[in-house]
Amino acid sequence: MYAPAPDIAAFPWKSKDRRIKKEKSIHKKIRVDSRPPVLSLPKDSRANNLEFILEVKSKIMKKKIPVSFLVFTLSLIFLAGCASSTQKGIASWYGEGYHGKPTANGEIYDMYSMTAAHKTLAFGTIVEVRDLDSGKEVVVRINNRGPFIKGRIIDLSYSAAKELGILDKGITPCEVTILKKP
């Protein structure tokens, strides 16, 4: 005669161990499956934009990522590809009041160097600023943040403003073109 199968309640440590293992494996699966795919923009985002968007879409569809993430990611990729290297707006200059004080990137402001402040461009970016009134051009390096007045896109150092010939005017319509990113 055979003995009846032992009841799991008779061995509580076994059922508890199984439950814990099962819970751990479920959590691991959830974490792995819910991670978004690793995305990186190609170097020339304009040329490869469509191919890259299709690649991202296929990665996301395979992993069953929420549609909101898909829309957000694709809109960022699209905006990055459409980003222009030229901006038009108003240029101003700043000088003596800030001379010798630290800039946003940590270096000391020198009003006699060819530098400028921009709201969004990376520090170290080399840009060409063209005065739309006179046609004069100057090349400067971004080392600070600003200007903080609506409509203005770049604050030039005293030296750069002098070369453009806007010291007396104070402001001028300009075109800023990115020459080299850091």
Residues facing 142 on adjacent strands: 116
pLDDT at 85: 84
pLDDT at 159: 96
Stated pTM of the model: 0.56
**For the chain, where do the domains classified as CATH 2.40.40.10 start and end?**
86-180
- The CA distance from 106 to 102, in Å, is 6
- The CA distance from 25 to 122, in Å, is 44
Helices and strands: H and E segment counts in the chain: 4, 6
- Residue 160's identity, in one-letter code, is A
CA distances from 73 to 46, 50, 77, 78 (A): 16, 13, 6, 9
pLDDT at 50: 64
CATH node for 86-180: 2.40.40.10
- The CA distance from 16 to 34, in Å, is 27
pLDDT at 32: 44
SS3 state at 69: helix
pLDDT at 142: 96
pLDDT at 109: 96
pLDDT along the chain (182 residues), means of 10: 54 53 50 47 53 67 65 61 77 94 95 96 95 96 94 95 95 95 88
